[in-house]
Amino acid sequence: MFKRSHLLALTVVTVFIAGSVSGCASLIIGGAATAGVAAYQERGISGVAADTTTATKLRAKLLEADDKLFRDVGIEVYEGRVLLTGRVATEDMRAEAVKLAWSVDSTKDVINELLVSESPLSDMANDSWITAKLTSKITVDKKIFSINYSIETVGGVIYLIGIAQDQAELDRVINHARSIDSVQRVVSHVRVKAPKAS
């Protein structure tokens, strides 16, 4: 296991490089730093790359089908499991998003958490705040390997996907989520690692 300070340093370097260097160089260096961070995730560099490819293909399909789908559907991919979140205007749009997710050949599972309703801008601002707050809480918690979690918030509902080291770690993440003001509920699609054979 590596030191948390090393991970935080890698993350800071990634953000700094991506924000301060322009042109192709920033993509190359930023990509290298991101790959360095990815190496510490349970799914590894190849897993991150495969999931990123799946998400990119799905975003392209959503954009080609309907720019509203592209705009309104949130995508998180972890170990080939595609989590769809957000709000769409009709049940047909919801079904189309699921169909497109399954049409990507590297998709292993589709978790459909899409809501059919309009989304006030005030909700989206609050949802972004909740996601940022939870990200901050789990990043500073030394008992949580936060790099292995992805967070989406829709209408005050927090959706989690990723890999937990054990149930105790996942419980800590969920408790942090529930402690945030205006959180309605927490939905976990996190996989708990199997214990190592002794």
pLDDT digit string, tens, across residues 23-59: 433 333 344 444 555 556 788 899 999 999 999 999 9
Domain boundary among 93, 116, 139: 116
Q: What is the average pLDDT across 174-197? A: 93
Burial class (CB in 10 A: 0-12, 13-18, 19+), 76: buried
Q: Looking at the structure, do residues 90 and 135 belong to the same domain, yes or no?
A: no
Rg (CA), the chain: 17
Containing structural domain, residue 110: 44-116
Domain boundary among 89, 116, 143: 116
d(C-alpha 65, C-alpha 86), whole Å: 17
The pLDDT value recorded for residue 6 is 42
Counted domains in the chain: 3
Q: Which helix (H) or strand (E) covers residue 63, if one does?
A: helix 44-65
Give domain status of residue 197, yes or no.
no
**What CATH number has the domain bearing residue 76?**
3.30.1340.30
Q: Looking at the structure, do residues 69 and 129 belong to the same domain, yes or no?
A: no
Among 51-60, 82-91, 112-121, which is the least confidently predicted range? Answer: 112-121
Give domain status of residue 172, yes or no.
yes
pTM confidence score: 0.77
Q: Looking at the structure, do residues 50 and 111 belong to the same domain, yes or no?
A: yes
Q: Looking at the structure, do residues 60 and 34 belong to the same domain, yes or no?
A: no
* Residue with more model confidence, 12 or 95: 95
Longest dimension (CA), the chain: 52
Give domain status of residue 198, yes or no.
no
d(C-alpha 122, C-alpha 26), whole Å: 34
Q: Looking at the structure, do residues 99 and 156 belong to the same domain, yes or no?
A: no
Give domain status of residue 17, yes or no.
yes
